[in-house]
Structure 1
Amino acid sequence: MRFTLSSWAALAIGVASLLLAAAVAVGFARSDRQRNESIARAMTGGDPTRAPAMIRRYGCVGCHTIPGIPGGDGKVGASLADLRTRVYIAGVATNTPDNLVQWIVTPQAFSPRTAMPATGISEAEARDVAAYLYAQ
């Protein structure tokens, strides 16, 4: 098969179009992530960028599947993927930022027999974790 100048040009245009489409898709994904993080910060008063270290430090990954957290594949508690779309937290509290923060700090206040432990996480740290979960 022989390639002519016009076939090479067509190929180059096709490759350029694919690269442009990929760049646009990455840009949209980045802007969606930034928008979700901004909304989560406003909702919770927390900083989602600080949360991954806390999520590991307090052992959340041992029980929960948590998107974006290495080793966050626990199967004891519910998956925390798409938490922002749920109506309830742990099936017992309306999914609001304040309820999520309080659940993270003192889950027994909502459900005395819950298997989720009180980890000693502070309210400020729980706000960061809540922001991270809502931003996903």
Structure 2
Amino acid sequence: MISMRANSGWKGAFLVVALSATAILVYGGYTLKAASERRAAAIAIAGGEPDNGPALLARYGCRGCHAIPGVAGAGNRVGPPLNGLGDSVYIAGVVPNTPDNLVRWIEKPHEVDPRTAMPATGISKSEARDVAAYLYSLR
């Protein structure tokens, strides 16, 4: 026969597991909602499709110089890491961080700063908008 004390221990353990699972689900739901809201805002301000960003960042070699969340093989430190770009005041330290300036920087960096080490990749304006939307969606 199980004593009340042993039974009470199982109830306590179950309660801890249930509360932990609930907290994980609530936090996970909050995280998904926040990511969804960031994505929607990024689309609205940059006019691009953030889902295309990782493939474009890989195709145009951005991962060769930058650490970029969500882009395989992007861990280099030649250029700055690109997470949190939406919170930066300036792009490349030279122009205010606006969607138009970011698209211009991605597309034609030497027009923004002739002395930059960032290469012109040949990315189109439409693709640059997708990359900008992706970068603005990151936190």
* TM-score normalised per structure 2: 0.93
1:69-108 matches, within 5 Å, as 69-108=71-110
Structure 1 moving runs of 4+ over 2 Å: none
* Counterpart check, 1:63 vs 2:57: no
| Aligned-partner Cα distance in 2 for 1:115–1:18 | 48
| Aligned-partner Cα distance in 2 for 1:68–1:28 | 20
1:90 offset after TM fit, Å? Answer: 0.3
- Aligned position for 1:132: 134
- Aligned position for 1:38: 40
| Aligned-partner Cα distance in 2 for 1:66–1:46 | 18
Point out where structure 2 has 5 or more consecutive residues left out of the alignment: none
Q: Are 2:55 and 2:71, in contact at CA under 8 Å, matched by a contact in 1?
A: no
| Aligned-partner Cα distance in 1 for 2:47–2:53 | 13
Cα deviation digits, residues 35-59 of structure 1 (max 9, x gap): 1001000000111111111000000
* Counterpart check, 1:50 vs 2:52: yes
- Aligned position for 1:118: 120
The percent identity for this pair of structures is 49
* TM-score normalised per structure 1: 0.95
Point out where structure 1 has 5 or more consecutive residues left out of the alignment: none
| Aligned-partner Cα distance in 1 for 2:84–2:58 | 19
- Aligned position for 2:30: 28
| Aligned-partner Cα distance in 2 for 1:132–1:61 | 14
| Aligned-partner Cα distance in 2 for 1:88–1:133 | 14
Cα deviation digits, residues 5-56 of structure 1 (max 9, x gap): 2221121111111001011111111111111001000000111111111000
| Aligned-partner Cα distance in 2 for 1:113–1:5 | 72
What is the count of residue pairs matched by the alignment?
A: 135
Larger displacement relative to structure 2 (6-15 or 32-41): 6-15
